[in-house]
Amino acid sequence: MTLTDLSATKLLAMLHAREVTAAEVMQACLDCIAQENPPLNAIVALKDTDALMEAAAQADKDGPSGALWGLPMAVKDTANAVGFPGTLGSPILAKFIPKRDDLHVARMRAAGAIFIGKTNVPEFGLGSHSVNPVYGATRNPYDTGRSVGGSSGGAAASLASRMQWAVDGSDMMGSLRNPAGWANVYGFRPSFGLVPADPDRDLYLHPLATSGPMARSPEDLALLLDVQAGRDPRVPSSYDDGPFATQLDADLKGRRVAWLGDWGGAWPMDDGVIATCEAALNTFDMLGCTVESLPAPFPAEDLWQSWIDLRSFAVAGSLGPLYDNPDYRPLIREDAIWEIERGRALSAQQIMRASSIRSNWFRKASELFQTYDALIAPTAQVWPFPVDWAHPKQIAGQQMDTYHRWMECVIPCSLIGLPGVAVPAGFGDNGLPMGLQFIGPHRGDLGVLQLAQGWHQATGWPDKRPPQGAAG
């Protein structure tokens, strides 16, 4: 076993005990990137090797400080990190170098992480396929002819291939969960407010996205979450919870989970997705949990309508200034223009109806959590698709009416800001990975992380079946 095979928790313990140096860890990281990144294109904007080795040597000289001290980390390219391009995968921002870190990035830096570059994303983070005109496409470590999802696709691929130990991601429409499921790793969307949004951004209106951790184990998720999470007085929705890393191990006997499946047939699925997920559900028996199939608990079409209206409204607000610039508009991808124009065409009544549906779904979900400890769903409705596709245009013979309709299974969690952890569910007959979402009640983050911890101890998928060619 090499340094890159170790968990982040084990590696950091060795670093703090001076059993290994930050320089040795950095060299191992860079060697792995040199071997694994060329076919995957997961890590972009990689900093100069000499500068990174100098930073690691300085860390060794200064000595241990912070939970992430000496850990090389690449930051998702939708987040600002001083010293690195913040392109969002758009040629409009290809030369943008931020002057300040986003809040969760600043927390990781303060905890001692050594930033080495960025992880690749879709243009503007839209859609679950990490391809853009600045850096190109990120490929799946389990089949380089296929997508690894997104928008945290570069992050997921860097974990699966052992180029990274733990990484940041973000999740609006499954961006932490879908790529985790397609890369046989873990991704955690925290309850809204646990990892605060950047205080310079809008703090109130229709929040849909959040940052969160990705890793190869729940233990490492919790380690990074403890760094990212916590109240900031400038962010009114933020709050303190945890710590999480010290509370993961729990007796899970008697916990009840509800299997949502395909939401009563509302979500079309590729052949084998449901079968693979349902076979994985047997793991709950080993944990002493009760699994019950749950009929569709809310009208799927209402959820979808609420989601696309609030999402288009949010995208129109964030990308509208670029759209209004005649020099920039030709450089914006077609799907983003569709979102902006659709969002601007919505009436106040439509926005209020979307918000009302959202509120009703939260009330219904709260009722469900009086009976169940978690709701379980697939992380995706399709297997990783060919990397040269823009997106799946049909599933099981059903045409997709938008560029993101094929991701419908992630919105019950996203729409109302619930915690959702993506866990590996194993592999289909095609050899491709699939994942499950464990969704909990608001501020029930510890509960779903404990379920994920038990799951990992029972299955160990990321270590049991790493991708062929991953450095080790």
Q: What angle do CA 466, 471, 472 make, to 5 degrees?
A: 80
Cβ burial, residue 268 (10 Å; 0-12/13-18/19+)? buried
> Residue 281 has which token pair?
């559900």
Query: Can you tell me whether residue 77 is helix, strand or coil?
Result: coil
Q: State which amino acid sits at residue 101.
A: D
d(CA 65, CA 333): 43
CB atoms within 10 A of CB 129: 26
Q: Cis before residue 207, ω within 30 degrees of 0?
A: no
d(CA 209, CA 245): 23
d(CA 211, CA 203): 14
d(CA 121, CA 266): 29
Q: Render 308-347 in DSSP notation, one character per residue.
A: HHHHHHHHHHHHHHHHTSTTTGGGS-HHHHHHHHHHHH--
Contact between 37 and 116 (Cβ < 8 Å)? no
Query: Can you tell me whether residue 140 is helix, strand or coil?
Result: strand
**Rg, Å, the chain Cα set:** 21
Q: Render 248-270 in DSSP notation, one character per residue.
A: -----TT-EEEE-TTTTTTS---
Residue (of 98, 83, 328) closest to 200 by Cα position? 98
Q: State which amino acid sits at residue 10.
A: K
> Residue 427 has which token pair?
């592999």
Which residue has 């300085």 as its token pair?
58
Identify the DSSP state of 125.
G
Catalytic residues: 76, 151, 175
Contact between 405 and 381 (Cβ < 8 Å)? no
